[in-house]
Amino acid sequence: MPWKEQTAMSLRLEIVTLAAGGAANVSALSKRYGVSRKTIYKFLKRYAEEGEDGLKNRSRRPRSSPRKSSAPVEKAVLEVRDAHQPWGGRKIRKFLEGTGVAGVPSASTITAILRRNGRLDDAQSTKHSPCRRFEMERPNELWQMDFKGHFQVGSGRCHPLTVLDDCSRFALCLRGCLDQRTQTVRSALVETFRRYGLPERILCDNAGPWAGAGKSAYTRLSAWLMRLDVGMIHGRPWHPQTQGKEERFHGTLVAEVLRYEGFLTMARCQQRLDEWRDVYNLQRPHEALSDATPASRYVVSVREYPEVLPPIEYGPGDLVRKVQCTGEISFKGRAWPVGDAFSGQPVALRATGEDGILAVVYCRHQVATVDLRSPRK
């Protein structure tokens, strides 16, 4: 029977004093104080051995824990956490299993180790909740591309360009750029295409340099991708969740690198980005992939990058026109807008099945229409 919580120490001292002095027998004290005889004898023994200190509450923690993780395992867990601070129990467990560490505990035990050693912020942990994910069925079916928000490097700014495979989450490109110009992006994409081949489509937002403004939605960059037979699609305006995987990748980049480090030179910045990209692709377990690594799910594209672009050819039934420097073509004595992105390039006019409406096609992509029913301006 437990002691009453109030004045527990004084009650214990009073009882053992009475019992030791012989003023009352143990059975009588047990009834009067509502304490079992076994408990009284226990504290009599402690009092005889330790004095009043023996009457204090003691921890119920067992003296030994046969199932407790060994010191080397705990050390390995903490080392991985310190090297990759945003990683939780599941990722650390998967990573340690891949490195051959013996006796890797469960994810919940690893979480307990992190919490016990002050490596876990419970307030931050509660912010993360599962979300419903959508993805392509095959690698290279769709890539996502975007710029991460720029940050200070030395006396300039770094604009990280990121390209991610939608199916495998494999980071194809992570380049620190000095600007966001078309030639900068094209140079990075050429290097990426040479290594991994061409995708079927690339998803971007509605900002430059991949989205046009004004009369045409196309840019020189999107026209170049069409020439490579790579489709470019854009997310809904003001809906960044369309590129949710890119947004999540950027958040991970900030959490694991940019939050903790600053760079004096672009060379050192790029070196660190390359190092982290290897960790992300080859070592870091990804929850959306059942804790597999992106590299284990990615395969290079069978479509090789052509170093020399073939000439543009159209069918015998097509009406071919050259886009002028104004971004227009001439047909039926009238000027029709196509877009500055295609200046100097040949396009084809094709019937659409609707009287008076012709499709304007560049390579295999329709880029405009000609409506012969519209009045002259």
Q: Which CATH architecture has domain 143-297?
A: 2-Layer Sandwich (3.30)
Percent of the chain predicted with pLDDT > 90: 41
| Least confident residue range of 92-106, 137-151, 287-301, 342-356 | 92-106
180 or 20, which is more confident?
Answer: 180
Reported as a pLDDT band with limits 50, 70 and 90, residue 10 is: low
Q: How many C-beta neighbours within 10 Å does residue 310 have?
A: 7
Mean pLDDT of 203-224: 79
55 or 119, which is more confident?
Answer: 55
Positive/negative CA dihedral, 291, 295, 299, 305: positive
Give per-residue pLDDT as tens, 220-267. Answer: 999 999 999 998 888 765 455 557 788 899 999 999 999 888 899 999
The answer, yes or no, to whether residue 125 has pLDDT greater than 60, is no
CA distance 232 to 144: 10
pLDDT at 92: 82
Considering 47-51, 66-70, 146-150, 342-346, the range whose residues carry the highest mean pLDDT is: 342-346
pLDDT at 84: 76
Reported as a pLDDT band with limits 50, 70 and 90, residue 3 is: very low
202-216 b/e with 16+ CB inside 10 Å = b? bbbbbebbbbbeeeb
Considering 41-50, 120-129, 195-204, 207-216, the range whose residues carry the highest mean pLDDT is: 195-204
What does pTM read for this prediction? 0.64
Q: How many C-beta neighbours within 10 Å does residue 186 have?
A: 15
* Domain map (residue ranges) of the chain: 8-55, 71-124, 143-297, 319-371
